[in-house]
A and B are shown apart, each in its own frame.
Chain A
């Protein structure tokens, strides 16, 4: 997605020294309270409407998750998990709204080799800038939450923008606006943490002794947080990572590049060479070109 907020950049992919932001905006966060979520998908529809996204009408595969996965035209979706709670013997239906977590230390941005294709604003939102995206897919590998998806039509990466366009003009993200039960709330990160504490206390009073806030330190905290009834077991919620962190490969590469200039360049050259050896030149074949044309036409 394009950005109009160059003044507010905190970080920029593949750029050694990000120019200091001319102003500091409030650090924001969306809080997803799973204990209040009824899985109505209003957020999904609001996202599709605001961002003008239309996935294909799919099929039922035995679950309520529809569309079945995130995609370039599905930036958020509900993931439903049925679970027998061994402590109470009761069935639980855990419904998690999946989408970009807007990490403080974003793995996608770190992994991105294209200057300015991924940016982070001072308010914490991590945004993809399509015109700079080269479709290499490193952001997919760099993301500990498996969020970005590469479009087969234009070969660019897509994900939730936390409605950076709405937030920039003082509006809450479309999903938050649509939520009927206030399972989604939006505000300053500080306020959201306070709000979450109240929710956690309510859950504990209802017998969820491990209720808690999910704001994982492994990625420096996130700007999308969850209230979980079982904060001790995030993986129960459709595989939410217990302790997410950026892939060590990305860390290693980026760490080396930052700290030792020449060695870094050499390492990059080596990496480039290895990439050439493993994958060959990044060349568009005739078939690919034709397939892309077909896809584009089919998309109309």
Chain B
């Protein structure tokens, strides 16, 4: 989230799209209820289904699954063609005025940007950049009239997304779409704000990152970034998935979203050299210029005394990646027999990675599989025959499976980082059952045993393991307290104040106050720079439970700790105009008082940098402004464009020659099992139900009682056409597999008219498997395609093709 859960109460308008907060985030949804009840806020829901969120909305607009980018570009076109956008914000706080290189082009007929290589399915992004002036800074035209200014290019780019075109692509009735546009436009003036709440409905597409970017662009056009009640708010799923990504458990980043070393960067200087973050305008802050300080402090946290300036702080010991090793790639390699051992920690890939058949085949090729989990997952039992639900010949599986029982969240202490980026410390409530051990103890045990083996037997490359700093009080059980202290970081020598060398900022061994004190000379260590400030000499700030909120704006500055630097709304300098005055008294947040930036939150800016210096509010960008044009950062283009899902019922009406994301990675064998509309005429989409939490609560009796069984949802019209009875059995099949389920026939699944053609949707909840208290089921990933977003490789779970037929009876119970 750019803002916070509690900030949602400040919104005048809430747009839930690509998510279903009432259903998947019911506790957070209370802030929407709060905004509605106490602020008179309106709630808009745009979704392929009439969801529980829609049930309490003021306006619901249907949309075909997977066409959100076109819808949002349509709203941007509405704003630009009616002039209902925040002109000053766009001019001063976005890159609208920047001039794009002459070589940059977009071919609207082909649906391709300049630099495309069809063979490699990727772009040479060199032309996607600004024209640079002789002074070394990017060229701008503050009138926004230059034909190659970002503003004019964007205007031209989105002009194709008329309300009629949106209706043709998305199937959303034009009148409904225009009503949504009017509501949204009402916040483009600084007086009101709109928050956007999204979740996996946007991420789980082969172009999900671009959809989210479009939402960010929309909010920038409206001036809704950095203000109370605004923002683009990702509602994270698992209780600590925000923490998971923060501390670098994604395959493509290290802690604090620092870059993963690559093959092309064999040395630290090469790695840092690729990241100079030189400001693109005079006086810009470009905060990432501190990257080296964070990186060296991370290496010092990993390797301790073994990390020295002479050995580039142990950079050589970090693995260097040649490609992205995301989940899809890992399991494809496993399927090819190239990965033969796998450790699953809190992960149930047999059900959560697409194409269950491929997953089962992949897991069967392993020599060993380790499952570290509080629950018996389907993955740990992939080898077990469960009749139709998991049809496998156990005798043929040679994989050895180890199950290491772990404690669950209430049986261990530590911190959770929620969607608001707030770390909340929690205390242990009970001991774990049986032989369950905490995840930390299991990993520490594994590490110490491996290190002992290296110590005794040597090995090809023992240094990366032998050099790791493991100086915990109890090496077999590093305490969560010690781990958080390590993430905060400390001074390794006395830190002198650069401004006044007679002053010592921090004594050797003391916790640093925040990332501003980190250094790149090896004198500080910090395991996760964005968490710096969470555990200082003042103690564990994540354990604070002071709910006071002096401003009444839902800031709660003394509750837990929010990264970065306890800042609750990101980019909050943008809540004031270039001169430092609030855009509106109603939305006053951070402003310049003549000598400092002040307000209820921690300013996202240098607190003493006067407005006259004209440093932009988006300090993480070298431009100092936000980006409507994403330069070279996105895989499929600097502006978002509508592409169809890899399985779609219609052609891409904008550019039939390039219907799908041209930069998405598709593995050999997976392209072949995409299905066509002729055999699989219906759009399928998957989702969560409020009664369950992922694949966990199917193990809990109470949750099983209130939602006992897998089902699929179809419209009464499709049910009639196919002869399906409400509550009767059906078979749903894609080109990858087939599942049987009870049918729920409901008007909540709208029938859409897309480009003159009727499109039906088949909805399927995830949650159900063949282990647990709920009735046995197949897993919806039996059907889903093995392709991911071109930037993040998040699987395309939200839009694919199936067919459906009625059955006289259900699956044989094994």
B691 in contact (CB, < 8 A)? yes
Q: In the bound complex, what is the Cα–Cα distance between A66 and B58 (angstroms)?
A: 27
Report B761-775 CB contacts with A as 1/0, cut-off 8 Å: 000000000000111
Q: In the bound complex, what is the Cα–Cα distance between A40 and B689 (angstroms)?
A: 9
A62-B742 contact in complex given A41-B691, A45-B702, A181-B29, C-beta closer than 8 Å: yes
A225 in contact (CB, < 8 A)? no
Q: Which residue of B lies closest to A65 (CB)?
A: B706
A35 in contact (CB, < 8 A)? yes
Report A71-112 CB contacts with B as 1/0, cut-off 8 Å: 000000000001010000011110100000000000000000
A41-B690 contact in complex given A54-B701, A180-B29, C-beta closer than 8 Å: yes
B509 in contact (CB, < 8 A)? no
A279 in contact (CB, < 8 A)? no
Q: Which residues of B contact A82 (CB under 8 A)?
A: 746-748
Q: In the bound complex, what is the Cα–Cα distance between A54 and B700 (angstroms)?
A: 12
A42 in contact (CB, < 8 A)? yes
A55 in contact (CB, < 8 A)? yes
Q: In the bound complex, what is the Cα–Cα distance between A90 and B55 (angstroms)?
A: 11
Q: Which residue of B lies closest to A182 (CB)?
A: B33
Q: Name which of B19-27, B395-403, B450-458, B613-621 contacts chain A.
A: B19-27
Interface residue tally on B, bucketed by range:
35 or more
A90-B60 contact in complex given A60-B744, A82-B746, C-beta closer than 8 Å: yes
- Cross-chain contact A93 with B55 (CB below 8 angstroms): yes
Which residue of A57, A84, A183 has the most chain B CB atoms within 10 A of its CB atom? A57
**The residue from A90, A180, A202, A205 contacting B30, defined by CB atoms under 8 A apart:** A180
Q: Which residues of B contact A181 (CB under 8 A)?
A: 22, 26, 29-30, 33
Which residue of A37, A41, A95, A206 has the most chain B CB atoms within 10 A of its CB atom? A41
Q: Which residues of B contact A55 (CB under 8 A)?
A: 705
Q: Name which of B46-54, B415-423, B801-809 contacts chain A.
A: B46-54
A154 in contact (CB, < 8 A)? no
B745 in contact (CB, < 8 A)? yes
Q: Which residues of A contact B30 (CB under 8 A)?
A: 180-182
- Cross-chain contact B60 with A66 (CB below 8 angstroms): no
Q: Which residues of A contact B319 (CB under 8 A)?
A: none
A58 in contact (CB, < 8 A)? yes
Q: Which residue of B lies closest to A77 (CB)?
A: B706
Q: Name which of B544-552, B590-598, B659-667, B707-715 contacts chain A.
A: B707-715
A290 in contact (CB, < 8 A)? no
Q: In the bound complex, what is the Cα–Cα distance between A253 and B23 (angstroms)?
A: 48
B321 in contact (CB, < 8 A)? no
Q: In the bound complex, what is the Cα–Cα distance between A206 and B709 (angstroms)?
A: 37
- Chain A 159-186 interface residues, beta-carbon cutoff 8 Å to B: 180-183
- Chain A 33-48 interface residues, beta-carbon cutoff 8 Å to B: 35-42, 44-45, 48
What is the number of contacts between chain A and chain B, taking CB atoms within 8 Å? Answer: 119
Q: What is the minimal beta-carbon distance from B38 to any residue of chain A, in angstroms?
A: 9
A44-B53 contact in complex given A62-B743, A90-B60, C-beta closer than 8 Å: no
A36-B702 contact in complex given A57-B773, A182-B30, C-beta closer than 8 Å: no
Q: What is the minimal beta-carbon distance from A256 to any residue of chain B, in angstroms?
A: 44
A49 in contact (CB, < 8 A)? yes
Q: What is the minimal beta-carbon distance from B785 to any residue of chain A, in angstroms?
A: 26
Q: In the bound complex, what is the Cα–Cα distance between A212 and B648 (angstroms)?
A: 46
Q: In the bound complex, what is the Cα–Cα distance between A148 and B748 (angstroms)?
A: 32
Which residue of B50, B725, B745 has the most chain A CB atoms within 10 A of its CB atom? B50
Q: In the bound complex, what is the Cα–Cα distance between A94 and B290 (angstroms)?
A: 54
Q: How many residues of A contact B (CB 8 A)?
A: 40
A180-B705 contact in complex given A36-B37, A63-B744, C-beta closer than 8 Å: no
**The residue from A44, A49, A60 contacting B711, defined by CB atoms under 8 A apart:** A60
- Cross-chain contact B705 with A54 (CB below 8 angstroms): yes
A286 in contact (CB, < 8 A)? no
- Cross-chain contact B701 with A57 (CB below 8 angstroms): yes
Q: Which residues of B contact A38 (CB under 8 A)?
A: 22-23, 26, 29, 52-53, 55-56, 690
**The residue from B27, B690, B705 contacting A58, defined by CB atoms under 8 A apart:** B705
Q: In the bound complex, what is the Cα–Cα distance between A49 and B700 (angstroms)?
A: 12
- Chain B 10-39 interface residues, beta-carbon cutoff 8 Å to A: 22-23, 26-27, 29-30, 33, 36-37
A61 in contact (CB, < 8 A)? yes
A57-B775 contact in complex given A66-B706, A93-B50, C-beta closer than 8 Å: yes
A142 in contact (CB, < 8 A)? no
Q: Which residues of B contact A95 (CB under 8 A)?
A: 52, 55
Q: In the bound complex, what is the Cα–Cα distance between A107 and B709 (angstroms)?
A: 37
Q: Which residues of A contact B701 (CB under 8 A)?
A: 54, 57
B727 in contact (CB, < 8 A)? yes
Q: Which residue of B lies closest to A54 (CB)?
A: B701
Q: What is the minimal beta-carbon distance from A197 to any residue of chain B, in angstroms?
A: 13
Q: Which residues of B contact A180 (CB under 8 A)?
A: 26-27, 29-30
A297 in contact (CB, < 8 A)? no
Q: What is the minimal beta-carbon distance from B670 to any residue of chain A, in angstroms?
A: 32
Q: Which residue of B lies closest to A56 (CB)?
A: B705
Q: What is the minimal beta-carbon distance from B131 to any residue of chain A, in angstroms?
A: 50
- Chain B 204-244 interface residues, beta-carbon cutoff 8 Å to A: none
A67 in contact (CB, < 8 A)? yes
- Cross-chain contact B52 with A40 (CB below 8 angstroms): yes
Q: In the bound complex, what is the Cα–Cα distance between A24 and B710 (angstroms)?
A: 50
- Chain B 725-778 interface residues, beta-carbon cutoff 8 Å to A: 725-728, 742-748, 773-775
Q: Which residues of B contact A199 (CB under 8 A)?
A: 37
Q: Which residue of B lies closest to A61 (CB)?
A: B727
Q: Which residues of B contact A45 (CB under 8 A)?
A: 702-703, 706
A59 in contact (CB, < 8 A)? yes
**The residue from A41, A56, A58, A202 contacting B40, defined by CB atoms under 8 A apart:** A202
- Cross-chain contact B705 with A60 (CB below 8 angstroms): no
Q: What is the minimal beta-carbon distance from A36 to any residue of chain B, in angstroms?
A: 6
**The residue from A48, A64, A92, A206 contacting B705, defined by CB atoms under 8 A apart:** A48
Q: Which residues of A contact B704 (CB under 8 A)?
A: 57
- Chain A 207-254 interface residues, beta-carbon cutoff 8 Å to B: none
Q: In the bound complex, what is the Cα–Cα distance between A64 and B763 (angstroms)?
A: 14
* Interface residue ranges, B against A (CB under 8 Å): 22-23, 26-27, 29-30, 33, 36-37, 40, 50, 52-56, 58, 60, 690-691, 701-711, 725-728, 742-748, 773-775
Given contacts A38-B22, A40-B22, A93-B54, 9 further A-B pairs with CB under 8 A are A38-B29, A40-B23, A41-B691, A48-B702, A57-B773, A62-B744, A63-B727, A82-B746, A93-B55
Question: Would you list 23 pairs from A and B whose C-beta atoms are within 8 A, ordered by A residue?
Answer: A35-B56, A36-B37, A36-B56, A38-B23, A38-B55, A38-B690, A41-B690, A41-B691, A54-B702, A57-B773, A57-B775, A58-B709, A60-B709, A62-B726, A62-B728, A62-B743, A62-B744, A66-B707, A84-B747, A91-B50, A93-B54, A182-B30, A199-B37
* Interface residue ranges, A against B (CB under 8 Å): 35-42, 44-45, 48-49, 54-64, 66-67, 82, 84, 90-93, 95, 180-183, 199, 202, 205-206
